[in-house]
Amino acid sequence: MATQPSQSTMAALEDMFFEQFKTHAEKIKVTRASGKPTLADSIECAHEALRPFDLNKGSERPSSTRGDNQGGLSLVLLPGHFQELQAQDFIMPILEWFLREVRDNRYLITLDIQRFMDDYETTGDVEIVHDMLCRVVEWWEAWGQNVAYFNPYVDGVQAYRRTCTIHLNSSLPATFRPAFRALLASTFPSELTPMDVERAKKIFATLNALGLLSDHEHLVGSTLRDFITEHLTETCKGEWETMCWPVLKEWYAAVVAPWIELVYVRSWMKQSETKAIFDPLNAKYTWHMCEALAKLRISEIFDIIVDYPTSSPALLDLKECLFQTGTRKELVQSLRTANKKRLLHPGADTKDIITQYVSTIRCLRVLDPMGSLLFSVADPVRQYLRERPDTIRTIVQNLIDPKSEFTAGEDGEVKPLQDTTHLADDYGDFGWMPEPAYADAAFRTTRATDIISTLVSIYDSRDIFVKELQVLLAKRLLGIKDQDYDAEIRNLEILKLRFGDAPLQVCDVMMKDITDSRRADQHIKNARKIELENHVPAATEGSTEELPIHATIISRLFWPSMPSTSLVMPGKFRKYQEEYAKRFSEFKPDRKIRFIPNLGTVSLELELQDRTLNVEVTPLQAAIVDCFSSQDTWIVDELAAHLGNLDIPSVDKALEYWLDHGVVKSIGNKQYKLLEVAEEKRTLTMRPARRSSLNETPAATKMEEQQAEQMRVYWQFIQGMLTNFSSLPTDRIHTMLKFAPNYDRTREQLARFMEALKREGLVDLRDGSWRLLKDGGTT
């Protein structure tokens, strides 16, 4: 390691110099007498030619103080003097003296540097930085204008440059680094201003002359990388509808590559030397641009998935960059974090979660057809969906919806459900591909499956989907008012293609009931119509009109459990039901029907003194308004008892509808009075009308409540588990309950029951595990 000579060493060197001078005194006299330069004259001339001077006091080197009558020497004779110094072994002492003089006088340059930097910090003008560097070059050139005379004997120029560079780096203040970056950045072009090539050449020539480009290569690289990243962010952030990577490569070739050539390539270099320098730098910064685009797209990946397929070009950008930079782990971590923060929380709707999951499947298939990315990302989403009690229902609703987003973008062909766990190792598959090297250790290549198969595979069994299909199909069939069941028949045929015929036999029975109901209803209508034409008395006394009832007759054993009620329809409604039931028994002597009065809808035309209302209401609402036709004032308790001892809240809720429509009004003490004449004009902007019992108390919801009640027998088992284990997830409870006698419930039914227990304040869900509340007792 090189060290600076100490003061004692320098003093010894000077003593040696003067000893040599005395030793050669006689020889010097002889040389002068003969006309040749003496050693003394050569030393003095070298001092005069090399001694550093204050450039601020003048641009010319001070001349010799010796007069001509004293034998003053001309600098033109310097080569001869340096030859004499070499002959007398004085070249190295003179060079060491010169370098020491440079070190001793470097404060002059430091003062100039500080003055320029002070001006730059005040104004922020990068041209001042360039002027400062040009001034340093002037100092170096002024002090080293005669250093080349050393070169025939020793590399004095290189020693001088090395000394100057060391002194310059030690003299630059801490503020020079940002100033240097700002000076480099000023050479970049902008959208409004093209690159000033001539100015850039001057700046780079100055930096190269001072050795700053090589000494601060890391700053040059970081400045260029920041420029690339800044341009990429400005032009590509949020730009998802067009591919950015091809445009960036064109911009790089037009802007960045010429800049690199200006910085690193010299005109005197051969083509092979230029290529050896330029190609590695070009590859390095192209890779950085690719990595920066990959990181940008990874940071936007959640929103890109939300906007899919509009954002498909952005996915192609990311696919290209993932292939080149290998940032797959960053993508997986970013997407998992974004899903946890923005998607997998109680505030998100289940349909939105499933929709995002479906888009994630499609997007990650674009990025990685082998499926390793999806394998790494999907597990938390799938696990969270299993915890949601309405996941199955949401999936099933989209299964039977022909306009479902879940099947959008598929090839249109309905395929049977596929086993997503089946390994793709079929030796007859000529499209087989090995597992990617970057895949997770637990990943196994599987056959590509459609979206529906992937969603169904969230659960271990398909039976729960079939049961939910039955419930949802029942709800949809009972909600049809125009007896147009063709769409549901088509949906069922599609479901058979996916699930097979055997699991959906119950649904076939339901559809057959609907078809038979339509046939029976039409027969009863036609029979009554013929009787009216032939003036045949009706089956029910006093009935002289067509039956205004369209009934859906279902097989009790094959349909989901229907809600029971004590509602007794009053007046004509009951007569219509009785006549319809009698006529059905005549048509089907071996069968009888029992009406479920709280299901269905009733279309009414109310004729009041000053107005007529046409409304579609629930059977309970129709029953209540019919009671007011025979008695204009009712007490709520009496009304509930009259209609079959109904619960008061149900009656209050039905009365609210007629209050909103101005048909009745409250007169206090839970009494309501019919308004034959409207008291004032009312708008329907008060409360939304409750139109159908299918929305108010759907059969599916009632069946869920009934199933939850049936599971009460297992509460003691669950309570014991949570007492012994403190907390358990739903899956663990479900597994342990399988050891209980006659437990045949699905995990979905258990999840609904646990939610019901939570609403009752018996248990609580924390971090995906159920805990027994301290005040939770037996039920």
Q: Is residue 5 helix, strand or coil?
A: coil
Q: What is the mean pLDDT of residues 623-638?
A: 89
User: Euclidean distance between the first and final Cα of the chain, in Å?
Assistant: 86
Angle between helices 7-23 and 39-50 (to 10 degrees): 140
Cβ neighbours, 10 Å, residue 689? 16
Residues whose CB falls within 8 Å of the CB of residue 563, separated by 6 or more in sequence, listed in order: 596, 598, 599, 697, 699, 702, 703, 706
pLDDT at 195: 80
Q: Which helix (H) or strand (E) holds 236?
A: helix 217-236
Residue 423 has pLDDT above 50, yes or no: no
Question: pLDDT per residue over 235-277, tens digit each?
Answer: 999 999 999 999 999 999 999 999 998 888 777 778 788 788 8
Q: What one-letter code names the amino acid at 390?
A: D
pLDDT at 449: 65
Question: pLDDT per residue over 273-290, tens digit each?
Answer: 878 888 899 999 999 999
State the SS3 of 272-328: HHHHHHHHHHHHHHHHHHHHHHHHHHHHCHHHHHHCCCCCHHHHHHHHHHHHHHCCH
pLDDT at 176: 93
Cα separation, 360 vs 305, whole angstroms: 6
Residues whose CB falls within 8 Å of the CB of residue 149, separated by 6 or more in sequence, listed in order: 49, 78, 79, 82, 156
Assign 414 a pLDDT band (cuts: 50, 70, 90). Answer: low
Assign 33 a pLDDT band (cuts: 50, 70, 90). Answer: very low
Residue 456 has pLDDT above 90, yes or no: no
Cα separation, 571 vs 591, whole angstroms: 25
772, β-bridge pairs: 763
pLDDT at 766: 84
- Which of 316, 404, 415 shows the shortest CA–CA distance to 355? 404
Q: Pick 85 or 359 by higher pLDDT.
A: 359
- Contact status, residue 658 vs residue 621, Cβ threshold 8 Å: yes
Cα separation, 255 vs 680, whole angstroms: 76
* 605 phi/psi in degrees, rounded to 5: -120, 110
pLDDT at 431: 55
Residue position matching structure tokens 């004095």: 156
Which domains does the chain show, CATH number per domain? 1-173 (no CATH), 327-458 (no CATH), 471-590 (no CATH), 600-694 (1.10.10.10), 699-772 (1.10.10.10)
Mean pLDDT, the chain, integer:
80
Q: Pick 748 or 635 by higher pLDDT.
A: 635
Cα separation, 372 vs 442, whole angstroms: 10
Where is average pLDDT lowest: 287-301, 340-354, 456-470?
A: 456-470
Q: Pick 776 or 676 by higher pLDDT.
A: 676
Q: What is the mean pLDDT of residues 639-655?
A: 88
pLDDT at 13: 42
Q: Pick 110 or 690 by higher pLDDT.
A: 110
CA dihedral for 413, 418, 424, 429, sign (positive or negative): negative
Question: pLDDT per residue over 58-75, tens digit each?
Answer: 766 655 434 333 344 455
User: What does each C-alpha distance from 753 to 184, 474, 708, 730, 731 come to in angstroms?
Assistant: 68, 22, 5, 11, 13
DSSP state letter for 643: T
pLDDT at 22: 45
- Which of 705, 629, 621, 733 shows the shortest CA–CA distance to 674? 629
pLDDT at 443: 47
pLDDT at 402: 66
Q: Pick 415 or 591 by higher pLDDT.
A: 591
DSSP state letter for 743: -
